[in-house]
Structure 1
């Protein structure tokens, strides 16, 4: 697996985390609504797979959901930066050879 696909899988997982946190906040007023979370597993060769799972009740919600979303946004940004820098390095390498 290359750097671009590893970073892309991280971005997909981070996006799913933000969606799960938003869904939890949106359902706060719904009595008996289950909370959801995201489980990530490593992939052989690099990267992650992510999936939605039922999460335990959290008395700290929505604060914990908002913090989880912020953490996921930072992870998304870091992976996007990695893709952007990798692309720039490849472009610079091709410019030197051309």
Structure 2
């Protein structure tokens, strides 16, 4: 779990350092709602949803997904659920 903390800290730092104006708006709420609906919402996963939205809005969807999916699966969320949650976090 230490690796998850490090990866989450890196993602948080990247998101916090970005000063670009978002060009689109993703949806943390959709990601979190999905996790709640499947009974898989945890504070770490909710934070990953928020960081994914920020990265998707400021860098790119591809970069956000490249970070989100491994972070979600590191929390032991099964791959298909991680894929869907992450996709929801970056959808406009």
- Give the TM-score, by structure 2 length: 0.30
- Give the TM-score, by structure 1 length: 0.29
Greater strand percent: which structure? 1
Q: Whose Rg is larger?
A: 1
